[in-house]
Amino acid sequence: MTKQNRPATPRQAARRRAPLDRQLDVDLFKALGDPTRARLLACLVKCGRPCSVTEVAECCSVDFSVVARHLSRLAAAGVLDSEKVGRTVWYRARCRDLSSRLRELATAIDHWCPASDTDACCPDC
């Protein structure tokens, strides 16, 4: 076990700076944490092409204004690309970027995880 991976108290762990801290993007998790946004993202990923807000609203049976707000939030978190053409906004899932971000997070978590899932993070846990 390396010095940086040795067991620490929660206070000691909070003071350490590591790639894990950069990977835990709060805005990304807020964007993905809403069930409606997750459904909308799944629709766009499966569609595989840019879709208008109207198309997504019809596909997911969600009100247009709600879809527009949710897609905007996903775009702000870097999950979607958007392009306005005339009065229509087209959204496309950033699949490779999203999977890369999640993969990097998983790698960062793996780096800090104990060898066994049964190992506790601290003696009192």
- Across residues 24-42, what is the average pLDDT? 92
Nearest-CA neighbor of 39 among 20, 24, 61?
61
Q: Is residue 25 within a helix (H) or strand (E), and if so which, with residue range? A: none
Structural domains in the chain, CATH included, are 20-109 (1.10.10.10)
Least confident segment among 7-16, 22-31, 76-85, 91-100: 7-16
Question: Would you state the pLDDT for residue 22?
Answer: 74
How would residue 24 be classed by pLDDT, with cut points 50, 70 and 90?
confident
Return the bridge partners of 83, or none.
90
SS3 of 84, please?
A: strand
Q: Is residue 4 within a helix (H) or strand (E), and if so which, with residue range? A: none
In this structure, the number of other CB atoms found within 10 A of the CB of residue 52 comes to 16
pLDDT tens digits, 40-87? 999 999 999 999 999 999 988 889 999 999 999 999 999 999 999 999
**Does 15 have pLDDT greater than 90?**
no
pTM: 0.74
